[in-house]
Structure 1
């Protein structure tokens, strides 16, 4: 990946880092927050016979992580096109 100027490279990486930080915050809230911190409040709700806190600890954080991976790939493709560094 070759940028013509340093300002464009910095803008690209700033967008990339901002995206990664926001997705890591979402992942933390879902996995640690819903699976550990808020489990007692979420266990008052049931999905398919299972308590919601248990579901987030076992399944929800995995599904969220997969969704984050696909979203990151999609969004980075857009950012790459915007800066002219797509493959």
Structure 2
């Protein structure tokens, strides 16, 4: 009875995928646009909405001022929805260019 476990066979990484430079530029353009769009959504939800909190407090949702609601829950909801949207859209871009994970 050996105390040392048997070594697992070495797993070779898959060979790198060769992509035409024009296709790579198109892929990066779409990925970059998605990234900047996501950052813009994050910026608006993080900073811009909260800059207008005093004026948003005139609107009430379920008895709470909208500025408070956006600070407490609204921004978090936007972040989670944005996260899932980003992942789904990036997967679509990856599949479109044939570089999706299996």
**TM > 0.5 between the two?**
yes
Equivalent position of 1:18 in the other structure: 33
The CA deviation at 1:77 is 1.1
Rounded Cα–Cα distance in structure 1 between residues aligned with 2:61 and 2:81:
20
The CA deviation at 1:2 is 2.3
Equivalent position of 1:7 in the other structure: 22
Equivalent position of 1:32 in the other structure: 47
**TM-score, normalization by structure 1:** 0.90
The CA deviation at 1:39 is 0.6
Please, what is the CA RMSD of the aligned residues? 1.2
The CA deviation at 1:4 is 2.2
The CA deviation at 1:41 is 1.4
Name which of 74, 78, 82 aligns with 2:92: 78
Instruction: Kindly indicate which of the two structures has a greater share of residues assigned to helix.
Output: 1
**TM-score, normalization by structure 2:** 0.78
Query: Unpaired segments of 5 or more residues in structure 2?
Result: 1-15
Query: Unpaired segments of 5 or more residues in structure 1?
Result: none
Q: Structure 1's 42 and 3: CA in aligned 2 closer, same or farther, altered over 3 A?
A: farther
Which aligned segments of 4 or more residues in structure 1 are displaced greater than 3 angstroms?
Answer: none
Larger Rg: 2
Equivalent position of 2:11 in the other structure: none
Name which of 29, 37, 57 aligns with 1:43: 57
